[in-house]
Chain A
Amino acid sequence: MTRDETNFGFLDRCDDRVAHLARQAEHYVHTDPDSCLFKLRLMIETMAKRLVSMSAPAMVDADLSSMLGTLERQGLLPRRQADGMHAIRRDGNAAVHGNSTPTPTAMRRLREAHGLSGWYARNIARGSKVDPGRFVPPSPPLHQSSEEAKLNGQIERLEDEIEEQRRRTREALMLFREDEDPEGVRKRYRIELKALDMVAAAAGEPVVDAEFVALVMAMDLEALFEHPSYGSESREARRNAEAQLAEVKSALERSEQAYLSQRAELVQEMRMHKRRQLRGEL
């Protein structure tokens, strides 16, 4: 693919702004991968805003993560697309905060953005035919040396590892596996629950205090924290839960940081190599 060609021409008809950002990202993928990531992040933010404006206008000014969460909860953002958007968001944020992006990483996210754009265009241009075509990686401006190709290979392997780890983290956090049919599983449990309910009712099994359950559900948290009987215990429960949650989040963050450091080392190695090339030492 030459510099004047694009993978994102199909977006022109449905969203000029997104199409423009996608082209810019494509333009920068080899020459300035960090800028490519900035543009991709802005592109998915623009997509999310438009999708949210159609379903939950009050959330339009929320941060990107919250908008994606809202779309997921409303069932408007399938898991695969959500994973792709979160990957771009995370890598885009990392680039904005000074973590260097290698070209192979930017290329992966660009490829993902192409797939996401097809899904987005189909949602926006309902009824119209959308054909994103096959993604063709933009060609590098210069021929790669064998040393560069080797470093890019290392980066690709690291990216595979990062993607696999992120996939596993998300799989572990979800109630259902990605390859399961939640609807089918839900039906199965409903059948079992109804059968158990009938048996329990026939056997006169005791039922918990449903009024208390409903009362607690209706209480707002402030009222609960001030409650004479439950206040102190619930405040303590909250403190403990917050601390435990923070621990899990910081472990996840550490693992992401470790990957970012490895990425940065490889980018640094690539830069040194290019400098040596420019000085004619290679």
Chain B
Amino acid sequence: MSSVNASELEIATLWFLSARAMSAADGTFSTASQGAAGLYAQAILGVSEAACEEAKKDENVSALTLLDCLGRLAGVSQDVGEKILTGVMMIAYANRTMHPLEVRWASMLASALKLEADDFQRCCVNARVMSGMLGTHGADEIGSRSDPGPESESAP
């Protein structure tokens, strides 16, 4: 897709890959994180709808292993890296349980991003705030698109 620039696509791809891995880590697929993922990408990471769509194509997200993902994350800016980790932790928090593999994935991401303990803690706190906003309500937000419901059912 020509309207998507390479760096935007890179961020979107790394985000979706990291987020998918976290959603898979606890062994139960959380549908709550399904809709929140794209909303987070667009609202917080600032990637476009087109980039989100493009990133999920086979030639992008499916072509990378998690090891590739970790390697490429080392190349993103600290700001973007922290936002990605915050979003990934938000997904981990969505179902209010923490599996050892989720902790391991968070550790590997933090290490790839070269985050200090304080930075990681800040990401966790922000993720908890976001999980309240997006984690369990994301899909509803998307569905509603802010349109009001009917005021009455007085149709003929």
Q: Do A and B bind each other?
A: yes
A residues contacting B by CB (< 8 A) are: 28, 32, 34-35, 38-39, 41-42, 63-66, 68-69, 72-75, 82, 86, 89-90, 92-94, 96-97, 168-177, 180, 182-183, 185-187, 189-190, 192-194, 196-197, 200, 205-210, 212-214, 216-217, 219, 221, 224, 230, 233-234, 237-238, 241-242, 244-245, 247-250, 252-253, 256
Given contacts A69-B139, A190-B27, A206-B107, 16 further A-B contacts (CB under 8 A): A38-B153, A63-B149, A96-B151, A172-B52, A177-B57, A183-B29, A193-B101, A196-B104, A205-B108, A207-B107, A212-B121, A216-B125, A233-B122, A237-B126, A241-B133, A241-B134
In Å, the complex CA distance between A186 and B23 comes to 8
Asked if residues A175 and B19 are in contact (CB atoms below 8 Å), the reply is yes
- Bound-state CA distance A72–B139 (Å) is 8
Taken together as a complex, chains A and B put the C-alpha atoms of A249 and B137 apart, in Å, by: 14
Q: A171-B53, A237-B126, A241-B44 are in contact. Are A197 and B34 (CB under 8 A)?
A: no
Asked if B98 contacts A224 (CB within 8 A), the reply is no
Partner of B148, one of A75, A97, A170: A97
Say whether chain B's binding surface is mostly helix, strand, loop, or mixed: helix
Closest to B70 in A: A196
Q: What chain B residues lie within 8 Å of A180 (beta carbons)? A: 56
Task: Known contacts A217-B96, A248-B42; decide if A224 and B145 are in contact (CB<8 Å).
Answer: no
Note all chain A residues with C-beta closer than 8 A to B31. 72-75
Are A42 and B155 touching (Cβ within 8 A)?
yes
Does B32 have its Cβ within 8 Å of any Cβ on chain A?
Answer: yes
Q: How far is the CA of A90 from the CA of B147 in the complex (A)?
A: 7
Q: Which residues of A contact B50 (CB under 8 A)?
A: 172
Sample of 19 A–B contacts (CB below 8 Å):
A65-B144, A69-B139, A73-B136, A96-B152, A169-B142, A185-B24, A186-B23, A190-B101, A193-B105, A200-B104, A213-B106, A217-B96, A224-B125, A230-B122, A241-B43, A241-B44, A242-B133, A245-B133, A252-B145
Q: Which residue of A lies closest to B91 (CB)?
A: A175
List the B side residues contacting A245 at CB < 8 Å: 39, 43, 133-134, 141
A contact patch SS: helix
User: Which residues of chain A have C-beta atoms less than 8 A from B27's C-beta?
Assistant: 190
Q: Separation in Å of the A83 CB from the closest CB of chain B? A: 9
Q: How distant is the Cα of A214 from the Cα of B145 in the complex, in angstroms? A: 33
B75 at the interface (CB under 8 A from A): no
A92 engages B150 (CB within 8 Å)? yes
Q: Are B56 and A176 in contact (CB under 8 A)?
A: yes
* B100 contacts across to A, CB distance below 8 A: 197
Residue of A nearest to B109 (CB): A208
Interface residues of chain B, those whose CB is within 8 Å of chain A, are 16, 19-21, 23-25, 27, 29, 31-35, 37-39, 42-44, 46, 49-50, 52-53, 56-57, 62, 65-67, 89, 92-93, 96, 98, 100-101, 103-108, 110-111, 117, 120-122, 124-130, 132-134, 136-137, 139-153, 155-156
Chain A, Cβ-Cβ closest to B57: A177
Residue of A nearest to B67 (CB): A196
Min distance, Cβ A218 to any Cβ of chain B, angstroms:
8
Also in contact, A200 and B108, with CB within 8 A (given A39-B155, A173-B39, A241-B133): yes
Are B65 and A213 in touch, CB under 8 angstroms? no
The answer to whether A216 touches B124, judged by C-beta atoms less than 8 angstroms apart, is: yes
Asked whether, in the complex, the Cβ of A238 is within 8 Å of the Cβ of B133, the reply is: yes
| Set of chain B residues within 8 Å of A39, measured between Cβ atoms | 155
**Nearest residue, chain B, Cβ from A86:** B143
Q: Is B156 in contact with A234, judged by CB distance below 8 angstroms?
A: no
**In the complex, A75→B66 CA distance in Å?**
27
Contact of B29 among A32, A186, A238 (CB under 8 A): A186
In the complex, A96→B151 CA distance in Å? 8
Q: Are A197 and B149 in contact (CB under 8 A)?
A: no
B128 CB to closest chain A CB, in angstroms?
5
For residue B151, which residues in chain A have a CB less than 8 angstroms away from its CB? 96
Q: Is the CB of A233 within 8 A of B125?
A: yes
Q: Evaluate contact between A207 and B104: CB separation under 8 angstroms.
A: yes
Question: CA A28 – CA B155 in complex, angstroms?
Answer: 11
